[in-house]
Amino acid sequence: MNPVSSRSIRGLAAAIGLATLSMPGCFWSPELSSIRQDMEKQMPGSSFNKNIELSLGPLTLSLARLVTSLVPGTDEARPWLHGLSHVQVGVYEASIDSVDNVRTPRRLRSLLDHGWETAVRVRDHNEAVWILYRPDGDHVKEVFVVVLNEDELVLVKASGHLERLVAAALDEAHGHHHFPGETGS
């Protein structure tokens, strides 16, 4: 490799490293925090200890799309990133007795009052799941996922152009492992 190419690659790597370091890996989200607090209030004696909290914005997601186009073996992740503009994820270790009496968190009820719709709501003695989405005409602009079981609480809020992502997730839930319009297994 010639010295100019080597310097260019080092410069690019340094720029990506600095950009990555300047982006928050931890965050405080009032929406995710309010759901976690509501769960704790609903279930006295419960606790939810943070495992992961991260927020990925347009720059980080663009970098992730670039990486999946360059790194062999990551091409399956690329379609899941398409259309995303912002993602917040919180994963918490749950210390609870049961999910039997849990109700829809107050923040999710508030979203429903402001135009969001329920895609999935499941509750049994082992798990509670809510998936809400915010439609805008024929488009899905935001998705909010809450999964609670006796081991963990997972919260995900994503925004962007999510129609294909939602269709693919529903396809995956039915045992199909490809994005709509692609050939797959």
Rounded Cα gap, residues 146 and 114, in angstroms: 18
Q: Is 169 within the bounds of a domain?
A: yes
Over 90: is that where the pLDDT of 63 sits?
no
Q: Is 92 within the bounds of a domain?
A: yes
Share of the chain above pLDDT 70, in %: 76
Q: Is 145 within the bounds of a domain?
A: yes
**Domains held by the chain: number:** 1
Q: Is 1 within the bounds of a domain?
A: no
Helix (H, G, I), strand (E, B) or coil at 77: coil
Mean pLDDT (whole number) for 66-86? 77
Q: What is the pTM of this model?
A: 0.73
Per-residue pLDDT band for 146 (boundaries 50, 70, 90) equals very high
Nearest to 132 by CA among 117, 110, 153: 117
Rounded Cα gap, residues 49 and 90, in angstroms: 10
Q: Is 18 within the bounds of a domain?
A: no
